[in-house]
Structures are given as structure tokens and as C-alpha cells.
Amino acid sequence: MDLWTRRKFLIASGVVGAGALAAGGAVIGWQDLAHGAATRPLAGGTPVLVLVTLYGGNDGLNTVIPAGDSAYQDARPDLAYTPGQVLDVGEGLGLNPALKGLHSLWGAKELAIVRGVGYPQPSHSHFQSMDIWQTASPSAPATTGWLGRWLDAHGRDPLAAVSLGGTLPPLLAGATTSGSALPLGAFHLPKGRTLASFTALGAAASDDPATLAAAATADRDLLTVAHTFGPVLDGLPTSNSTATSTPTSTSASTGGAASGSGGEGSLAQQLDVVAACVAAKAPTRVYAVSLGGFDTHAGEKATQEQLLGEFDQAVSGFLGKVAHSANPVVLAAYSEFGRRVQANANQGTDHGTAAPLFVAGAPVRGGFYGAQPSLTDLDAGDLKFTTDFRSVYATLLDRVLAADPKQVLGQDFPRLGFV
């Protein structure tokens, strides 16, 4: 594998930003988004997909937990939950105690749990496996994200897919069209003549080299954001309070060395903006949000519970807000891999393979999909996957985005019945 490929993996992780990767994609579009909401609002009834990326490799076995299985208890005595601690969902499984909101959704039949999701010959590298998930190309490196290819094939509208946070995840980068990356936070512009001068500084010039052009675009974007999308952001909590926080208060990032983060601001802040955009009928079909910190090689239990709690509150709060919107919302959450069955010596787990994936929302048919992987029939200590992740994508493309999965994924995959 050459080094250029390696760089793509770094891009995939957010380690190298994907701004430069957007093939001809205009970087941003708050103004366009607001304009779009006013002039071509999303038609009522058109479904919206929200994709949550959990960076770092969330431990699936301690998320949807086979607490009654003695193989589970034996493999990780210091990390295991007892049957009495988990939130029962039947078939010998229970949710992590931090997932109270999701448990309510399960009771309301609005949560689907897809079990054993993975792909053949799994990679244990954060960066490579995340690249595989985001490009939907397990066998060979690809230069486009799966939703980027959907953008390419469906009207090439950069506003159709939007990520929250400063940089664009590769999953939204297509060959001819890329989604838009929207920043969070409050803005204070210069005034009067200084503003006019600042505005002129960011003017597009056809002979700018690439990096200079990107810098000018960023200057220009600040104006469009502040001027025209301010009203949607008004009334939302700003991310400024996080600006001066000390390291000790950013407890969510204590998870580990490869936590990664696709965005800025908490997951709840990102989803607040998504809820506002959905309510404003922005012409966006797909929103990408993220939460990092799941690389729990040591001291896993407390860290993961705290992160899952943050995830649970943000997601259930968000789904409550959009429950009665004119556009049905389907939320799906995935991570680049699960973790090893056996705990290591540091009360943590190393990189693993297959894991459960959540799909939630009012249009979702709650229940289990896919078979639970065996805890005893392992592949070098790792779970064997039972459901190809591209079946999940194919279902979302077909049933939520009304697209032809074959066109995006290169081949067809069996649908799952979760929506």
C-alpha cells in the first residue's frame, strides 16, 4: 500500500481535514442553505437521514450486552455488567445502563438494533477501518464517500448533505459534488468601513493558488454565516462556553489516544442545529454529526458509560424535538469497529471487529435485525460479523433516500426491514 493511500486514511480519520478533498465542491453554504429553505423548502413527508459517527471504536459488547452469557462474564470479569444491571431488550441481551432514552425508544418500537455488523477481513486500524466505513469500500481504497457518491448521482446539490463542525468528513465527498461543512457558534463581525474592507479581503480571485483560494473562501464564509444564518442560530446555546474550558473539564475526551473527533461542539449542540435546520425546512436530506472518545484501551467502564450517556441524552432529546416535524427523521449510529471479546490488563479492550448498530426514529420498525455473533466461535479472539454494513447502507439508501443502492455501492445488498 503506498503512502498516498495512507494519507487518505488520515483524511478519513479527520486527522487530515477533508477540505482539500472536496472535488470542486464549494466549501460552505449557510447562506445558500437559508436561501434554499426559503425558496425550495424540503417537501413535507420527504424523509431525512441523520448519521452519527462514533469515533474511536465503541465497545459493542458493552453497549448491547449479553450479560447472561457466561462466556461474556469469563472474558472480561472486571468490565462485565451483570444481568441485573443492564436494561433488558430480550433474547438474552440488555442495553448499557447509560442508554435509558434508547431503552424507552425500544419500548416504543422506534429503535432497531442491527447485530453483528461488520465486513470481511476487518482492519484493526482506526484510520483504515473508518475509511472503509465512510467509503463503503472494504476491498480496495476509494477516493469518494458513499454519501458523496449519492450526491453525485442525485442532482449534485451540495446542500443535500451537510456535516456539522469545522471540517467535512470523507463520507460526504463525491467525485463531482461534496456536501457542505457548517460551523457551529456565535459570530462577531467588524463594523462599518472595516467590514467593507474585510469583505473585500475575502473576494474570490480566479488566479489564486489553491491554498490562498481556500483562505479567501473561509473569510467569505464567515460573512455568509453570520449575516444570513444568524436567525436559525439565535436562541441556540452557543459553543463559546466551551472555548475557555480547561482540559480537566473536557472529560469526554479522556477516553484515549485515538478518540478522534469529526466535529466541534458537543453532539447535543450539533443535533440542536440539525433540529433547527429540519424545522426551517432546509433543503437537506442527510446530516452528519459525530462524537469521539470511544478508544477505551484502559479504564473502559466509566469512560464508555459517560460517553454513551452523552450519546443517549443527545439522541433522545433530538428525536423528541423532531418527532412531529413535517419530515420524518431516521437516525443511524455506527463506529469504525467494536472491541476484542477478551479484556486486556488495563481494564480496557483492544481493537476488535463486528458490533451492533442503532437505527432510531418515528419511521423505524423497532426490533432486532441480524444474528448475534457467537462469543465462543471467534476469529483470532474477535467476533465474526453476521451482517454486512453495506446492507444497512442499502436499506437507508433505498427506504430513506429513495435511491438505487447499486448505483452508490457498486452492487446490491439484501435489505433489512428496519424502515
Partner 1 sequence: MKADATGAAATAPSTRAQVAHLLRRAGFGGRADEIDAAEQAGYEATVAALLAGPVGSADPGVAATPPPAFADIPAPGRDPAARKQANRQRAQQYLQLASWWLDRMVRASGPLVEKRTWFWHGHWATSVVKVRSAALMLRQNQTLRSLGGGDFGALAQAMVRDPALAVWLDEAGSTRQAPNENLARELMELFTLGVGHYTEDDVRAAARALTGWRLDRTSGQLVFVPAAHDDTPKTVLGRTANYDSVALVDLLVDQPASHAWVVTRMWNRYAAPGPVPADVMSRLQTAYGSGRDLTALLRALLLDPVFRGPAVVGALAKQPVEYVVGALRALGVTPDDADRTMLLAALRRLGQVPFEPPNVGGWPSGDAWLTAAAVQARLDFARWAVTKADLGVVSSAPVGSRVDATARLLGLDAWSARSRAALQEVAGQPRTLVALALAAPEYAVN
Q: Which of residues 315-354 bind partner 1 (CB under 8 A)?
A: 342-346, 348, 350-351
Report the C-alpha gap between 18 and 180 in whole angstroms.
11
# chain residues binding partner 1, by CB under 8 A: 91
- Applying CB under 8 A, does 16 fall inside the site for partner 1? yes
| Interface of this chain with partner 1, residues 24 to 43, rule: CB under 8 A | 28
Whether residue 113 contacts residue 332, with contact meaning beta carbons closer than 8 Å, is answered with no
The three cell numbers locating residue 37? 429553505
| CB neighbour list of residue 140: distance below 8 Å, 6 or more residues apart | none
State which H helix or E strand residue 129 sits in.
helix 126-135
Q: How far is the CB of 325 from partner 1 (least distance, A)?
A: 27
CB of 310 or CB of 398, closer to partner 1: 310
| CB neighbour list of residue 123: distance below 8 Å, 6 or more residues apart | 129, 132, 337
Whether residue 147 contacts residue 393, with contact meaning beta carbons closer than 8 Å, is answered with no
CB of 150 or CB of 337, closer to partner 1: 337
| Interface of this chain with partner 1, residues 375 to 404, rule: CB under 8 A | 380
| CB neighbour list of residue 145: distance below 8 Å, 6 or more residues apart | 134, 135, 136, 169, 170, 171, 172, 173, 174
CB of 347 or CB of 374, closer to partner 1: 347
CB of 19 or CB of 328, closer to partner 1: 19
Report the C-alpha gap between 341 and 349 in whole angstroms.
8
Q: How far is the CB of 340 from partner 1 (least distance, A)?
A: 8
CB of 19 or CB of 94, closer to partner 1: 19
**Contact window for partner 1 (CB under 8 A) among 12-20, 36-44, 64-72, 388-396:** 12-20
The three cell numbers locating residue 28? 460552505
Whether residue 399 contacts residue 414, with contact meaning beta carbons closer than 8 Å, is answered with no
State which H helix or E strand residue 276 sits in.
helix 267-279
Q: How far is the CB of 102 from partner 1 (least distance, A)?
A: 26
User: Which 3 state secondary structure label does DSSP give 270?
Assistant: helix
**Contact window for partner 1 (CB under 8 A) among 87-95, 122-130, 365-373, 411-419:** 122-130
CB of 170 or CB of 370, closer to partner 1: 170
**175, 218, 279, 326: which one binds partner 1 (CB under 8 A):** 218
Report the candidate in 195, 225, 188 with the shortest Cα–Cα distance to residue 30. Answer: 225
- Applying CB under 8 A, does 116 fall inside the site for partner 1? no
Q: How far is the CB of 416 from partner 1 (least distance, A)?
A: 29
User: Which 3 state secondary structure label does DSSP give 172?
Assistant: helix
Instruction: Give the dihedral of Cα atoms 90, 108, 365, 397; nearest 10 deg.
Output: -120
User: Which 3 state secondary structure label does DSSP give 27?
Assistant: coil
| Interface of this chain with partner 1, residues 235 to 264, rule: CB under 8 A | 243-250, 253-254, 256-261, 264
CB of 85 or CB of 194, closer to partner 1: 194
**Contact window for partner 1 (CB under 8 A) among 150-158, 214-222, 315-323, 368-376:** 214-222
Sign of CA dihedral 80, 300, 13, 8: negative
- Applying CB under 8 A, does 20 fall inside the site for partner 1? yes
Q: How far is the CB of 264 from partner 1 (least distance, A)?
A: 7
- Applying CB under 8 A, does 222 fall inside the site for partner 1? yes
Residue 124 backbone phi and psi in degrees, to 5 = -100, 5
User: Which 3 state secondary structure label does DSSP give 260?
Assistant: coil
**Contact window for partner 1 (CB under 8 A) among 46-54, 132-140, 204-212, 329-337:** 204-212
Q: How far is the CB of 158 from partner 1 (least distance, A)?
A: 15
- Name beta bridge partners: 395: none
- Applying CB under 8 A, does 77 fall inside the site for partner 1? no
Report the candidate in 284, 290, 291 with the shortest Cα–Cα distance to residue 49. Answer: 284
**14, 338, 361, 405: which one binds partner 1 (CB under 8 A):** 14
Report the C-alpha gap between 179 and 157 in whole angstroms.
8
**73, 104, 176, 217: which one binds partner 1 (CB under 8 A):** 217
CB of 181 or CB of 319, closer to partner 1: 181
| Interface of this chain with partner 1, residues 144 to 203, rule: CB under 8 A | 166-167, 181, 183-185, 187-188, 190, 193-194, 196-203
CB of 112 or CB of 233, closer to partner 1: 233
**35, 124, 384, 415: which one binds partner 1 (CB under 8 A):** 124
**2, 120, 241, 324: which one binds partner 1 (CB under 8 A):** 2
